[in-house]
Amino acid sequence: MTGPMTADAHDKDDRTALLVHAYVDGELDPANAIALEQRMASEPALAAERARVEVLRRLLRERLPRETEPPALREKVRRAVGLTRRRAQPTWMAMAASLAFAIFASSTGTWYAMQPPAASTVPDAVISGHLRALMAPQPADVASSDRHTVKPWFSGRIPLAPRVVDLVQDGFPLVGGRVDVVNRVPVPSLVYSRRQHLISLTAVPNVSAGTTTSQTVQGYNMIAWTAEGTTYWAVSDLNLEELQLFARLFRAAPS
């Protein structure tokens, strides 16, 4: 608590000062509080310290504006953890539930829906992009775990840079990004990893309504969802539960 050069006398004063602060904070037991009150009555320096601390505390309480959270924050938090979706929302625990559960959930209006993809060529193209990446020396054209490196890299290559979020805390580190071609249009793909598995997340400009599909193609799990005019395709050999977790985290993450 004190510096190596400190003398004993300094230590003692230091401790007494701590007691004055603890006294003002109501943290002293009655015996110590009485003893300190007696000392403060006879030692002006201690009384002055007490006065300063009390004034400071009053200032902080009365003069500093109370910081209140923005009204929208509560709703943002609810959305981030999935509370705004009504019944049967998939929580992390429920993620372990079967695909059958997911299909059931879709019928109750949550974001799962087993619908055929709008154009069957899109998932094929996305899978091809993923496979090509797995066979290439590098799965990403820009290899970086920093989203502030990856996002600008896209800006010079395609009209619309994708949403890039950092999920390293959740166990999905960003590996990088690349440009894939879907329907002869260059589109951004982000590459994330989970243990030894790679996840390609391809963002295809789209105007269709927001439904989510999950399917298995050639042994690869795919999940698609639409947000803000873009359809995201996540493809990986990762198990479906964890891929769903990834999709959910990506959607919930602040960009």
CB of 109 to another protein, least distance (A): 16
Cα–Cα distance measured from residue 14 to residue 168, given in angstroms and rounded to the nearest whole number: 44
* Minimum CB distance to another protein, residue 224 (Å): 23
Could you tell me if residue 39 is left (phi over 0), alpha (psi between -120 and 50 degrees) or otherwise beta? alpha
Contact 177, 189 (CB under 8 A): yes
CB of 29 to another protein, least distance (A): 13
Strand-pairing partners, residue 167, are: 172
Smallest separation (angstroms) from another protein to the CB of 237: 25
Closer Cβ to another protein, 37 or 57, answer by number: 57
Torsion angle of the four alpha carbons 93, 96, 97, 103, in this order, in degrees rounded to the nearest 10: 100
Which chain residues interact with another protein by CB under 8 A? Answer: 1-6, 9-10, 13-14, 16-18, 21-22, 25, 27, 44-46, 48-49, 51-57, 59-61, 63-70, 73-74, 76-77, 80-81, 83, 88-94, 166, 168-169, 252, 254
What is the smallest separation between the CB atom of 115 and another protein, expressed in angstroms?
24
Query: Using an 8 Å Cβ cutoff, are 95 and 82 in contact?
Result: no
Name the residue nearer to another protein (CB basis): 53 or 179.
53
Least Å from the CB of residue 154 to another protein: 19
Q: What does DSSP say about strands 197-205 and 185-194: parallel, antiparallel, or unpaired?
A: antiparallel
The CA R_g of the chain, rounded to the nearest whole Å, is 29
Q: Mapping DSSP to helix (H, G, I), strand (E, B) and coil, where does residue 136 land?
A: coil
> Of the two residues 52 and 115, which places its CB atom closer to another protein in the complex?
52
Please identify, using beta-carbon distances, which residue of 13 and 37 lies nearer to another protein.
Answer: 13
Is 12 or 138 the residue whose CB approaches another protein more closely?
12
Task: Measure the CA–CA gap between 251 and 170, rounded to whole angstroms.
Answer: 13
**CB of 110 or CB of 214, closer to another protein:** 110
Closest-CA residue to 221 (of 195, 205, 198)? 198
Number of H helices, E strands in the chain: 8, 7
